[in-house]
Every structure is written in C-alpha cells, then in structure tokens.
Structure 1
Amino acid sequence: THSSVPTASLLGASHCCAPGRTMAHPQEGPLKHGGGLRKLALPVVLEDGLLSVDSATFPLPPHLTRVHACSHRDHPRWGASNTALARWLPPTYEDGVSEPRGWNPHFLYNGFPLPPVREVTRQVIEVPNEAVTDDEHYSDLLTVWGQYISHDIAFTPQTWGSECLYWAARTRADQSFLSRQLPDNASLTGGTACLPFYRSAAACGTGAQGAFFGNLSTANPRQQMNGLTSFLDASTVYGSSPAVEKQLRNWTSSEGLLRVNARHQDAGRAYLPFVPPHAPLACAPEPGTQGRAPCFLAGDSRASEVPSLTALHTLWLREHNRLASSLKALNPHWSADTTYQEARKGLACSPFSVLGPEAVRQHVGPYQGYDAAVDPTVSNVFSTAAFRFGHATVHPLVRRLDARFQEHPDLPQLPLQDTFFSPWRLLKEGGLDPLVRGLLARPAKLQVQDQLMNDELTERLFVLSSSGTFDLASLNLQRGRDHGLPGYNEWREFCGLARLQTRADLSSAMASGSMADRLLDLYKHPDNIDVWLGGLAEALLPGARTGPLFACLIGRQMKALRNGDWFWWENSHVFTEAQRRELQRHSLSRVICDNTGLPRVPADAFRLGTFPQDFTPCEDIPGLNLEVGSSASVFLLHVLSHTSNSVSRMSGVLSCPYGWYQLCVA
C-alpha cells in the first residue's frame, strides 16, 4: 500500500509550488532546488529537458512528455502528474476545510454519527476465504489487469505521521496521521489494536495549507494530488517523471531498450531490474535470509505488491524490448532514442467492458475525435471510490499451474497473504509461466453482495512498513472520508439516478433486502452511506460488473480520458488508418505468446476457458505487422482482446493493456 512511500518528503512547503517543476515521483527522493515560492504562469519552461509550452507559439510535441504536461495547448497541466484530482462535486469536510467525514464523534449526519469503518467491514463487507464464489465467465487475469490500469492513472501520495498508539489519543484531523482504537472484538489478525491511517497529501496551498498563503477558508478546501499522469500513457512501463524514466532506460543499448535484471533470468527471458543499490531494501526476504530484499524497479513503484502484478509489469518490459529490437531491425538508421520513442509512442485502450453495453452507449458513446474543452484529469470520486470496486473481485488464492494447466506438483496454491511484496516467489518458484497459466485458467472471484471482500484483504493485508496487518475495506472507507467525498445519494443524484429515501428504495436498488437492512442498521439514513460501499452494494447491470452508479462514474471518467487526450490512438493524427486497423488486431493473448513459453492461450485472455479445448495455438493468434503504414512506428501497447465489433458481440467486453479498475492498494 501507499503507506510505505515517503511522500512527506515530497510535499514540503519550500518546493511544493515551484514553477513548472515536475514534482518527485514516489520512487524518487526529495526535489533538489532552492528558491522560494513563485507564481506559476504561462509561458512555462518545464525542466529536466522537457519542452517549453506557449499555446500561441509552440505546437504539441510529437512524443509524450513523461509528466504529460504538453497534451493541451491552453491547459498544459490538465492531466499532468502531481496536480490535484478533479472534483465533480464539492467536498464535504466536517469543518468545511479539512476535517474528514466521521472524524468528530459528536458531528451528526441526519441526526446520527457515521459508523466506524471497521464495524462496517465486519458487519457488511468481509467474507471468509472458503465462502467466496468463483466467477463463471472471467479469468483471474481480469482482476490483475484492473490493478494494472489503476496504477497507470492514479497514485495519491500520503503524508507521514507518528506511531499508531502515540497518535491514537493525540491526533488532530489537520495532521498527517489518523487512527482509531479498535473495539476488543474488532482487532485485526496479528493483534493490531488500532487502525492506523495516513492522510492523503494535500494539494499545494489547499485546506490547512491555505494559511501559508492567506487563503484559509471554506472556499479553499483540502484537495488531494495525483502523483501520476491521468492519461493511459503506459506510465507503468516508462514512469511519470523524467528521473524515473532515466532509471528505467538501458543507456548502453543502440536499440532503445529498457533495463532488465542483471542477476536473474526466466528461461532466457528478462525479469524486471531491481531498484538501484542506493534505494532502501523494502521487500520481503527469501525464507532463511535476514533483513529486507530489493524490490523490482518499474514505471510504477507498486510493481512488487503481488506476483501477478509483477508478472504484468514483466510482460510489458519484455514486449517493449521485443518491439524496439524489431523496429530497429526494420529501421537501422534510427538512433537509440528514436527507436525508444517510437516503441512507446502509441497506446490505445477501450477499458469500458466493465460497464456493460447499455452503460457504454449511455455514458461513453462512440469516439468523435479530440475535444479541447474536455478536462481529462482523473476525478477524486473515480480514484477513491468507483475504480476500487474491483477489490470485490480479488481471489484469496494465488494459483500456479503446470504445462497442462493442472495444479502444479511443485508449486502449490498460496494464500494471498503469503505473496505480498515477495519478488523471490517469481525468481525462485518457476518464473512467469506457471503464474500466467493460473491467471488465464482459474476464475476471478465473483462480486456477490454478501461476499464483498475476502479475509485476505480485510484481515491479513500486509504492509511492509507496519508490523501488523491491515483491513483494505476499512482503508477504502476511511480514504473516501479523508478526501471529503459526499455521500452515496449525492452521487446518485449527480448521475441522474433517483435518491434512495427508504428501506424499500434501498432493497430495490440493491436487489437485496438483507443488504439494505444491514446498511440502514449501521448508517441509520441512506444519505449517510459511504459512496464506495453504496456503489459496491448495488445490483449489477446486465452484462456488467458494476451497478448503475459506478457505471456512470467510470463511464464519465473513461470518456474524459479518451476525448481529452490529444494522443488517444483513435485520433487521426496519431496513426494512419492502416495502422489503426493493425492495432485492433493485436491482443493481450498475442503479447503473452510473444513473451512467455506458453504455446497455447485463450483467444480472449479474460474469458475463463478450459484447457485445451478453449485454448488457441499461438501461431493462430494475430500479431502486429510493424511494416504497415508510412513508417514502421506502429506500436505496441494497444491491446484489444476483441475486434471493434465486440461491444455488441460480447456484451461490451473490450479490453486494453491497462485494464479497468483499482484492486489492491489504498
């Protein structure tokens, strides 16, 4: 989770508003520049080798900047890294400025205090591991894919605080660290006595920070930052800052390659490199060894959280290097930098399948071209609530399979808790192939209203910076309150849905009288329900994995990410028509074929199938023809598991290299 990231060092008042500077990425150290605060105004000169921006003079660049600060002529910071998350509704802090919802036990909502988040987890959300229901249609790869896309577009830095037990009695809501002493019957596995919580860092000059600028008022409430670019720009592969990108590139290669691990290989194939020697050792050690081990280095600092996520990062590292080598062979006159830039140039994605076909038509619609009036910035409610619905699809087991896609005799299935932050599992226990087979041929967890999140996430979530365990459901609820997200009914009204006023209304929206009863027993009034839980509890739309509220919020965000992105793959200036047709043929299944030892894969990597009848030989899976078009710059990371007519043919199930939703981290 984010609590292991030293975000406080990134947010000191001495540099948080320096003009035009790319703020530090979570993997970097503090910024090193002096001077006081200065007003940010155009023209802006971006440092670290980025381009100058002046909407009246300079055109957009041919390649993306790592901070994505040049994607809009008039609003160069829209969607850029280290800017505030967008607000679609005003925040609702208890003091109007910064104090989280539910923090003051005497503050009443419709006559009642908000219930403690841990109590909500215990009474409504958690389910024993053995009681989960498997999804009959989708593979476990779908869940990990969602985590991957969430890590491409959102990372909310956190502040630092002191030890849990010290602050439990002393914390004020404007400080960095909040915790609640847990009731005796609500302690976490491992004996954790309180629920520690690091507040999301405030965007510069907002909330309590406004006092430094003479602007401490309810007109300047606390906002939260997105440490990444909002765009689907493969920042998971290349990073969101020039400094991280510099660490990732292989500067001795003439082919524009990314760095690989110098100490380990996977049957001749590359692993991710380790973090630099000067970086802290932050991952779990191999059994029998002492201390901490190095984590993997990737474009996103969370790549080592679980082996399945590491596997996807590794696949895209291999795919970049494979395509860069192929492009260089076709264009030997290209420089290493040209080859690198062309290999990462295109990305395309249609991450709308989770919404279902009707919601796609209603909230997203067909692509009509780039719209300069659309702000693509990731919204607070999307990142903090709607996109976290995928936590309800996380399976409690990690499955590794043999070459016949059967249980591996030497690699038994593992409880999720035994895999957190453990790169050695990949390096020492069979490499990528057994894990990828398990992701393809074993089901995701089905989202069921009385089985929302399994014990691996609500009782045993492991965080390396803590000696205890965490409850992800409680963290999600508290994160929404920390961000001042309005309640469930406010968001339903925002989306044009009816407000739910009675127990009968709730029962109808959730198709479950039992769920309605439990929610009202805890929250006392429908308006008090936290938006993440309310959206999660809704009955699913036909052909979808969300209810109507999250379909609206996710659809609205995805439409903005698409229509407000000058570099969106369907925009006519990015690729030729022939190249766009070629990209639509490419698939995640093909990427798996090209970068693992699997000879057969499902044609649709996300559809659960049975081996061998539902698996296709790799030679029959279409691949990219890099020679299509006016140059050999057809790229790479556009992955559609289906052709464009799949919206109607497969209930809207389109896929992309970055998936759909937030899954594993707060």
Structure 2
Amino acid sequence: MRAAVVLLAVALVLACTGVLFPFVWGGKGLRWAETEDARVTSVVGSQRNLRKREIASPERLPPFSKLPERTSAAVSRAAEIMETSIRVMGLQRPRHPTDTLSEDLLQVIANVSGCLPYMLPPECPDTCLAGKYRLITGACNNREHPRWGAANTALARWLPPVYEDGFSQPRGWNPGFLHGGFPLPPVREVTRQVIRVPNEAVTEDDRYSDLLTVWGQYISHDIAFTPQSTSRAAFSGGADCQLTCENQDPCFPIPLPENASSARPSCLPFYRSSPACGTGDQGWLLGNLSRANPRQQMNGLTSFLDASTVYGSSPAAERQLRNWTSAEGLLRVNARHRDAGGRAYLPFAPRPAACAPEPGAPGAARAPCFLAGDGRASEVPSLTALHTLWLREHNRLAAALKALNAHWSADTAYQEARKVVGALHQIVTLRDYVPKILGPEAFERHVGPYGGYDPGVNPTASNVFSTAAFRFGHATVRPWLRRLDANFQEHPDLPSLHLRDVFFNPWILIHGGGLDPLLRGLLASPAKLQVPAQLMNQELTERLFVLPNSSTLDLASLNLQRGRDHGLPGYNAWRRFCGLPRLETPAHLREAVADRSVADKMAALYKHPDNVDVWLGGLAEDLLPGARTGPLFACLIGKQMRALRDGDRFWWENGPVFSDAQRRELGKHSLSRVICDNTGLARVPADAFRVGRSPEDFVSCEDVPGLSLEPWREAFPQDDTCGLPGKVDHGDFVACAESGRRVLVYSCRHGFELHGREQLACTGQGWDSPPPVCAGESVGRGHMAQEKVCLSAHRTRSGARSTLPVTERGGKATAQTGCGQGQDVGVSRCSAMAQDPEQPCSSESRHSRAYPRGC
C-alpha cells in the first residue's frame, strides 16, 4: 500500500507537467501489469508520443493541417490523455459492470486529466444580457440544456454508430472483419473506380453561380469543425503517422492500390478525429464502458448559425479578433496590406506560419495565414474572400451604429453589430441558399415555415450532417479559380488558376487585385453540376495539397475514411432513417442511382447496399427536381437546418431578439448588398447565387435594397437621473433593461479581474453602486502560477448508474476548498505561466463563462 501511495504521488507530479498516469479500479490501488518501473517507463514514453501532437516546426506542419483553436485543442488533448492512459495500462474491461473507481481516484482523475470540466454543464449568466446577446461559446442558448449547440461538445448522433468492437474501432480497422458477410472496399479504390474524373469532365450548372458552392463551404465552417489528432506518432509504440501503414491509434492510414508506384509510400496518412471526453474507451474510467457509451467526436465550434466564422467560438479567439483600442467595437484588420481602394484585409495570424511564402520574399519557408473566426479561412482564396467580406461588413455596421448612438459603449456597438451580422448569415443561408439545394418540395417537407423557438429541439450539429451530408458540396467544386476584370472579362493579368496553385496562399488575394476579381469570377461563373459520373475532379482527388514526402492527398478518400472513423452507419440505414425504401439488390441500387455504370461499380465494390458509405451513396443519387441534392441528403440537410433554426433562442425571427421594425429591415438585406457595400463592384446579380452574364443579367448597386439602421437608433432617456457612468480602465459595459430599470453589466479585459459589483441599476437617486474596478489578476495572488481547477469527487446518480463526478449544487460544478473557495468552474482561471499574448489561455471575465481547463 505504501508503494502505491508513493507511485500515486509520483504520478500526480508527472501528470501536472503533462505526463500521463494510469487509473485503476476502486479499492484496489494502482494496478501494474508487469514491474512498476517498466510500467512507469511505458507511461512516460507514451505521453512523450502524445506531446508530439503539438507540432511547432513549420517543416513538420504540412499546409493541409487544420489546427483547432487553443480551447478546442485543450479539450481534444484531455480526451486523448484519458484514452491513452487506459491503453498504456493494458487494462481489461471490468468483470463486474458495477465496479467503479474509488472516491479518491475520481478526485485525482478530475484534477489531472483536464477532461471532466468539459463534460459538466456550464454556469449560465443570470444578468439581463442573457436574453440579449448569445455567448461566444454557444453555451446556455437553451436554459434547460445549456450544452446543446455549444462549442467543444460531442456531435449529435441521429443513429447509433457502427464500430467494429462495438464502441471505438472504425469500420475497416481490422483486416478480415466482415460487414454483412463482406469486407469493406479500400476507400482509395472506391475513389479510383467511382469518384475520380479528369479536370475536363465538368458539366456546368445553368442556373447557379460558383458563389453558391463557396457559400456552402463557408457556412459549413460556421457549423462544425471536428479536431483531429495532430500527433506525429502513435500513442503506443511511437510509429510516425506520416510514415506508418499500420492501424495504430491515432493513425488510420489509407492503403493505396498494390499496383501503385513503388517509388511512393503504400498508403496516405490519416489521423483519427479526437474523441469527445468520457466516450468510447474512456467510459472505463466512469464505470460506463459499453455499447451504450460509444466513442463520439467533438465539434470545436458552436453549432448555431451565428457567424462564428467572423467572431470565433471561444473567448480566447474573440479576444484575438477584436480591436480593443477602438471606441466603435471594431474587429482587427491587417496592418500591412489594404486593397487599391483602401479596404481592409483580414489580419495575419500570429502563429503557426503554415501558408505559402510571399513571392520574392527571401528566407522564410512559410508565411502567416489569415486570422479569422475559423482557422480554415486561408484554405482557398474564394473562402478567404467571404471571410474578408464579413469582416468589412462588421466594421461598417459597428461604425454606423456607434455614429447613430454616440452614448453606446464600444462593447455595445460590437455586440449589436455582431447580432446583425449573425442574423444576416441566417437569412442568406435559410432564405437564399438552402431552398436552392433542397428544392422547393423537399424544403417544404423537411424545413417548412418558421413556427417560433422550440426549447425541445436540440440544435447540435449531427455527426452524419458534418461528416457526410453537407460534404456534398465537394462534388460541386470546379478545378480552377476564375478571376475577372472590371468589365467581367478575362484578362492576361488575372489568369484562371488551378486549385493546386492556390491552396493556403494569401498572396493570391493581396497581390492579385484583392477581393473584386475573385468575386466577379464567382458571380459570373456557373457552378459545377453534381453528376454521378463526374463526382470529383483530379484537383481534389490527386493534387489536394503536397505533403513533405512529395505525395498528395485525396479529398474523396479522406471523406470516406472520416465517415468510417466516426462509425457512421451505411447507406441503407440512413435511407430507412429518412423513410426512403431500403435497397436490397443491385437492381434496387440502380433505381436510386440512374447512372447504370456508377451503380454497377458501387455494387461490385461493396457487394451489398448496406455497406455503401453514406457519403458516396448520397452523392450518387439522382437530383430531386429543382434541387442540387438527391432525396437522402435533402432529408439530412433539411433536418439539420430546421434544428439549427427552431432550436436557436437567438434566431433572428424569434420575437424577443429584434423589434418588428428591425426584422423588416433585416429582411431587405442580401449577400449582393453586402458585396456592394464592401467592395469596388458597381453591378451585381440581384440574387448572388444565380449565375448571369454581365451586364444584361446584373443590376446597379444603387438598385439593390438593403437595411436601414434607423430602427437601431436608441434615444437617451430624457428623464434619466443617472447619466453615463465614468470610464472603467481595462473594462467596459453593455446596457440592458431589467424590471423597467436601466442596467449596466460590466466585464474586464483579458488579464484583469473585476472588483466590485458586476451589475449596476439606475434608480431615482442615481446608480445604485459605484462602477467596479478592473485590476490585474496577479494583485494579491502571487501564487497564481500554482493554481489549479479542483473538482469535488461527489457523484450524481442516474438511476443506479454512477455518472459524472460533480459537486452537488444545482447541477453546477464548483471548486473545492483549498483551490479557490467558492470559485465557479464556469469562471476559469489561468496560470500566469501559461499566458501567451498571441494565443492566450482561456481565462475569462465572469461575463464570458468559458469552460475551465484541468491541471
């Protein structure tokens, strides 16, 4: 027992410096499968591999990497720590389902893993702002289910996953494993035989513009991002995921055909998505390892249509994006570059430097990418253009609102502009985009008219939507990027560019004439039509990013492998889910896929329709009348869009969110108007998604309606006895109304802590309290570098099953004595040692309510 205590103490020290340690069954102490020294060596070695996931060197960071925002990375890392600890120990599943961990070890797990706080309900603010502005994290939108739709929570499951071991291993993980009596075909072979076509095989859409495709990509980045492990090495054994062709978590490589060139690797690297905290193998730690608790994947973004592409999904991201010296609530812009008209570009991200170098720049191997609310903003210039457009629109609106209401604080101008921009994202998506994708009949069936906010609807983005259905747009991507001059004509100075030449290249925008040539090309070029025999061009299947070993990636194979990684059920299961006929034979498959050649190839590869990957099955279906998807994806996309609308308390049409006059003005606005207000274009299509020829199909910007901000004018109360409060250094306030009184809610800038009352109310005798003070966090707390978030080891009960350890105070997690008495877990603190001025850790004001981190 004494040895176990000593080892536990050593493990705690190692864990708080980032090293894993094993956990065991309650009452049995630490369990060492071999000798204690060997097990410690194994744990430390495995954690060393896990820490390699933080790839800092540009040479080790291929440009296709989509790094999660810091908060999401912390959650992802915590989940991997828990999961890897179990594998390192080599522990077996409990013989008795009722076995659970001891109270003491639950306390240790809560403090060390860092995972548990992200599984607990956040504490929701109780100020009058709770009904006025959504939280940046998406939390507390639904007061009864505050995690619904929030960032860094598990994607929703509409059907149970299908894992080969029942709760974690992907479909296709085990060689020889049969699905319905047949093995799954290698995804690269499916791409080669069914999906890949030459770049020249493009059928143009005679109705919709290329901007429709780009908007779909942009809005998908508003809804979901699933962090994947970025470890170079397998968690156990140390194999390099860039080189190994064996399945070793997190490596799940894509085998290449045996007849592929011998000079190249025999597989393509693929990293599994990080698990959501407490799911899959981690269920062992909570006494819940079963098919009822399978591995889930995390959404690092808010699910809501809330313009998180502009503002981010965490307080840390929001801090980086805002211009804190502006009195108008502006967002940061690029300090080095502007377009010819003086219009702003996105700022550069501080790190990592992962984009293409500036032409002619000496020395640097890589260059900064753009910084936006979503980290994928620099993938292609057309996507960057939309991010830039909305940055400009926010700053235009915020400045105009501040000019209209001089008494507003900077925070008020920022929040009101953010609220309008979020509403415009919802309008463009549900009014202008989704009906074109689903077609009129499917839109009416699956989405229908708005009936008001429904607190019983879960708006969380579903796994099948983000991993399969909404990736239909990959089949509508053209193989080149078209740029046009001011007359909407080709120009030798603005040549069309192959996609391979523009990935992660910000200089195409900066040195290529800015947004205007790109937007002209998007507006005047037809989209690629989704045709079963022409699914994806070679720019995406053969030339998607260049890897360090000179090989390239294949987007189609990545999509198929990702669906298997996530355990998505097969094609037929989803058809049944949507009420569509089950397909039993190749003849039935040909009824859904009219192209006989494609249907026959699918039947030969998969052997049975049950086994067809849902992404391919949905893509290959015949398009519905007036739609750009088949019946399966129309169902899945429509169901998700309805949930995002009806389950959002801050949806723009919900009565309390805007006044009637404001809603009328918002309804006048359009993407075409946003383009007119923020670029040098003088003529645009009335509907930006309808392809047309200039000038006959375009209208003058003077004739494009837009919103008037007059309904946002707020007269200062004439009978007000309080006036405006004095300025608070390093902080600001936002005004709202409560019980008929004017109320100010204060918050402090990052690095400062609020002292005094957070909320002031105006009374007949003036403000009921003096303004608070924002003081540096280190004041009176020299021990901050050693502070940790500590959680009670109490457990809540769900029937007879032990669930999550939380302190029993209204279901909210609180800190324990000795770790900041009375501190709410929803109010995180951050070690001074961890602070980074470019990517700060998640220490927020009380108003922000960020999720905390662990040890």
| 1:352 maps to which of 427, 434, 439 | 434
Equivalent residue, structure 2, for 1:308: 382
Displacement, 1:468? 2.8
Secondary structure of residue in 2 paired with 1:549: helix
Equivalent residue, structure 2, for 1:93: 163
Displacement, 1:59? 8.1
| 1:483 maps to which of 560, 566, 584 | 566
Displacement, 1:4? 4.2
Equivalent residue, structure 2, for 1:235: 308
Q: For 1:613-656, what per-residue CA distance to the aligned partner results, in whole angstroms no more than 9, with x for missing partners?
A: 00101100112100036749xxxxxxxxxxxxxxxxxxxxxxxx
Question: Aligned partners of 1:124 and 1:574: how far apart in 2?
Answer: 48
Equivalent residue, structure 1, for 2:339: 266
| 1:472 maps to which of 550, 555, 569 | 555
Judged with a 3 Å threshold, the aligned counterparts in structure 2 of structure 1 residues 42 and 512 are, in CA distance, closer, same or farther, namely: closer
Question: Aligned partners of 1:514 and 1:564: how far apart in 2?
Answer: 42
Equivalent residue, structure 2, for 1:425: 508
| 1:257 maps to which of 330, 351, 371 | 330
Secondary structure of residue in 2 paired with 1:76: coil
Equivalent residue, structure 1, for 2:698: 615
| 1:155 maps to which of 225, 229, 251 | 225
Equivalent residue, structure 2, for 1:337: 411
- Structure 2 residue 126 is matched with structure 1 residue 126: no
Equivalent residue, structure 1, for 2:178: 108
Secondary structure of residue in 2 paired with 1:579: helix
Equivalent residue, structure 2, for 1:656: none
Equivalent residue, structure 2, for 1:11: 76
- Contact conserved, 2:122 with 2:146, CA < 8 A, in 1? no
Question: Aligned partners of 1:181 and 1:562: how far apart in 2?
Answer: 40
- Structure 2 residue 692 is matched with structure 1 residue 627: no
Equivalent residue, structure 1, for 2:133: 63
Q: For 1:103-149, what per-residue CA distance to the aligned partner results, in whole angstroms no more than 9, with x for missing partners?
A: 22211122210000000000000110011111111111111101110
Which residue identity does 1:281 align to in structure 2?
A: A
Equivalent residue, structure 2, for 1:362: 445
- Contact conserved, 1:320 with 1:344, CA < 8 A, in 2? yes
Judged with a 3 Å threshold, the aligned counterparts in structure 2 of structure 1 residues 475 and 36 are, in CA distance, closer, same or farther, namely: closer
Question: Aligned partners of 1:619 and 1:8: how far apart in 2?
Answer: 46
- Structure 2 residue 394 is matched with structure 1 residue 320: yes
Question: Aligned partners of 2:66 and 2:464: how far apart in 1?
Answer: 23
Displacement, 1:503? 1.8
- Structure 2 residue 657 is matched with structure 1 residue 574: yes
Which residue identity does 1:567 align to in structure 2?
A: F
Which residue identity does 1:352 align to in structure 2?
A: V
- Contact conserved, 1:60 with 1:73, CA < 8 A, in 2? no
- Contact conserved, 1:4 with 1:465, CA < 8 A, in 2? no
Question: Aligned partners of 2:638 and 2:385: how far apart in 1?
Answer: 28
Question: Aligned partners of 2:195 and 2:354: how far apart in 1?
Answer: 30
Question: Aligned partners of 1:138 and 1:16: how far apart in 2?
Answer: 47
| 2:632 maps to which of 528, 549, 563 | 549
Question: Aligned partners of 1:328 and 1:58: how far apart in 2?
Answer: 21
Secondary structure of residue in 2 paired with 1:462: strand
Question: Aligned partners of 1:471 and 1:621: how far apart in 2?
Answer: 41
Displacement, 1:258? 0.4
Question: Aligned partners of 2:319 and 2:688: how far apart in 1?
Answer: 32
Question: Aligned partners of 2:196 and 2:494: how far apart in 1?
Answer: 28
Which residue identity does 1:309 align to in structure 2?
A: L
Question: Aligned partners of 2:451 and 2:536: how far apart in 1?
Answer: 38
Displacement, 1:181? 3.6
Equivalent residue, structure 2, for 1:663: none
Structural RMSD (CA):
2.3
Question: Aligned partners of 1:149 and 1:418: how far apart in 2?
Answer: 24
Q: For 1:225-267, what per-residue CA distance to the aligned partner results, in whole angstroms no more than 9, with x for missing partners?
A: 0000000000000000001000000011111100000000012
Equivalent residue, structure 1, for 2:273: 200
Displacement, 1:466? 7.0
- Contact conserved, 2:672 with 2:685, CA < 8 A, in 1? yes
Task: Give the length in aligned residue pairs.
Answer: 604
Equivalent residue, structure 2, for 1:402: 485
Secondary structure of residue in 2 paired with 1:168: coil
Displacement, 1:3? 3.7
Question: Aligned partners of 1:466 and 1:525: how far apart in 2?
Answer: 37
List gaps (5 residues or longer) in structure 2.
Answer: 1-62, 83-109, 234-239, 716-855
Which residue identity does 1:76 align to in structure 2?
A: P
- Contact conserved, 2:188 with 2:257, CA < 8 A, in 1? no
Displacement, 1:589? 0.6
| 2:356 maps to which of 258, 277, 284 | 284
Question: Aligned partners of 2:145 and 2:79: how far apart in 1?
Answer: 25
Which residue identity does 1:209 align to in structure 2?
A: Q
- Contact conserved, 2:533 with 2:595, CA < 8 A, in 1? no
| 2:211 maps to which of 121, 127, 141 | 141
Question: Aligned partners of 1:235 and 1:323: how far apart in 2?
Answer: 17
Please give the TM-score of this superposition, normalised by the length of structure 2: 0.68
% identity of equivalent residues: 70
Equivalent residue, structure 2, for 1:167: 244
Question: Aligned partners of 1:235 and 1:16: how far apart in 2?
Answer: 28
Secondary structure of residue in 1 paired with 2:418: helix
Secondary structure of residue in 2 paired with 1:138: strand
Range that drifts further, 287-296 or 541-550: 287-296
Judged with a 3 Å threshold, the aligned counterparts in structure 2 of structure 1 residues 38 and 13 are, in CA distance, closer, same or farther, namely: closer
Judged with a 3 Å threshold, the aligned counterparts in structure 2 of structure 1 residues 4 and 551 are, in CA distance, closer, same or farther, namely: closer
Please give the TM-score of this superposition, normalised by the length of structure 1: 0.87
Question: Aligned partners of 1:466 and 1:593: how far apart in 2?
Answer: 44
Judged with a 3 Å threshold, the aligned counterparts in structure 2 of structure 1 residues 60 and 2 are, in CA distance, closer, same or farther, namely: farther
Range that drifts further, 3-12 or 596-605: 3-12
Equivalent residue, structure 2, for 1:643: none
Equivalent residue, structure 1, for 2:584: 501
List gaps (5 residues or longer) in structure 1.
Answer: 18-32, 633-666
Displacement, 1:76? 0.4
- Answer 1 or 2: higher relative contact order, Cα 8 Å, separation at least 6: 1
- Structure 2 residue 525 is matched with structure 1 residue 442: yes
Displacement, 1:384? 0.4
Judged with a 3 Å threshold, the aligned counterparts in structure 2 of structure 1 residues 183 and 164 are, in CA distance, closer, same or farther, namely: farther
Judged with a 3 Å threshold, the aligned counterparts in structure 2 of structure 1 residues 599 and 408 are, in CA distance, closer, same or farther, namely: same
Displacement, 1:195? 1.4
Equivalent residue, structure 2, for 1:661: none
Secondary structure of residue in 2 paired with 1:142: helix
- Structure 2 residue 297 is matched with structure 1 residue 224: yes
Secondary structure of residue in 2 paired with 1:143: helix
